[in-house]
């Protein structure tokens, strides 16, 4: 994909993840495969699969339509980030 398409898709993912208002979100990728890093208290007390489900729920439409092919994610709380 062209650099513009890649940036547009990264921005789209960031916009979708803006739902996690108090989280810090980083998105990188090649246009179809993305690495998503989310830091927030929203993940406190959740198992890793529950954390991923929260992120996937927000991105589900883009994944279903094929805009996003694959998402590799890391979700942590601010306390975990400091460890």
Residues 55-81 pLDDT 10s:
999 999 888 888 888 899 999 999 999
Task: Determine contact, residues 17/25, Cβ cutoff 8 Å.
Answer: yes
Phi-psi label, residue 45: left if phi above 0, alpha if psi -120 to 50, beta otherwise: left
User: 2 is written with which tokens?
Assistant: 């062209």
CA pair distance 67, 2, nearest whole angstrom: 14
Q: Tell me the percentage of the chain whose pLDDT exceeds 90.
A: 54
0.95 cut: is pTM over it? no
């Amino acid at each position: 994909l062209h650099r513009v398409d890649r940036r547009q898709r990264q921005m789209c993912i960031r916009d979708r993840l803006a739902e996690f208002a108090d989280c810090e979100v980083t998105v990188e990728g090649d246009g179809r495969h993305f690495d998503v890093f989310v830091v927030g208290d929203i993940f406190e007390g959740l198992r890793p699969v529950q954390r991923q489900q929260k992120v996937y729920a927000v991105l589900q439409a883009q994944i279903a339509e094929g805009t996003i092919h694959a998402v590799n994610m890391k979700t942590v709380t601010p306390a975990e980030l400091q460890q």
